[in-house]
Amino acid sequence: MIWLPAARREEELRELAQHLELLAADHRAQGLDDQAAAAAAVAGFGPPERTAHELRAAWLRGVTALARRYLVFFLLYGGVVLAVNLAVAVAIGADTTLRWWQSGSPTLLLPLVFIAADARRRLMARRRRP
């Protein structure tokens, strides 16, 4: 799980340990000794490779969904702002062919400010988690 950030990796490992302990407790309740219960819990949980693959797939789905959301925001926000800027320029009779970059540059940069602020907020929230 080296692909996970350290805090998230520790959180996932703690959760896996809790699940394994619950499975072992169930096996102990059925009469198995501690060592046999632990072995049965690990066997019942499945191969570690499959568990790692499922965790990685879930993490990638979350990262991909976030990237997709940022891209949609970037395109929609930028498109709306650019369309409004060009509509105003045409309405007042400004020459839009020579100055497209003046309205285009802020249109491209401003959504990045919002995206960076959201990414920073998410990162700080993760760091504050116990």
Write out pLDDT tens, residues 30-76.
999 989 998 898 888 788 888 888 888 888 888 888 889 888 888 88
Cα end-to-end span (Å), the chain: 19
Query: Which pLDDT belongs to residue 21?
Result: 92
pTM (predicted TM-score): 0.53
Pinpoint the alpha helices (H) of the chain: 6-29, 34-45, 48-91, 100-128
Angle, to 10 degrees, between the axis of helix 48-91 and the axis of helix 6-29? 140
User: Is residue 44 a contact partner of residue 36, using CB atoms and an 8 Å limit?
Assistant: no
User: Is residue 106 a contact partner of residue 84, using CB atoms and an 8 Å limit?
Assistant: no
**87 or 22: which carries more pLDDT confidence?**
22
Of the candidates 67, 79, 82, the one whose C-alpha atom is nearest the C-alpha of residue 115 is: 67
Helix (H, G, I), strand (E, B) or coil at 129: coil
CA distance 32 to 40: 9
Give the residue-averaged pLDDT of 97-125.
76
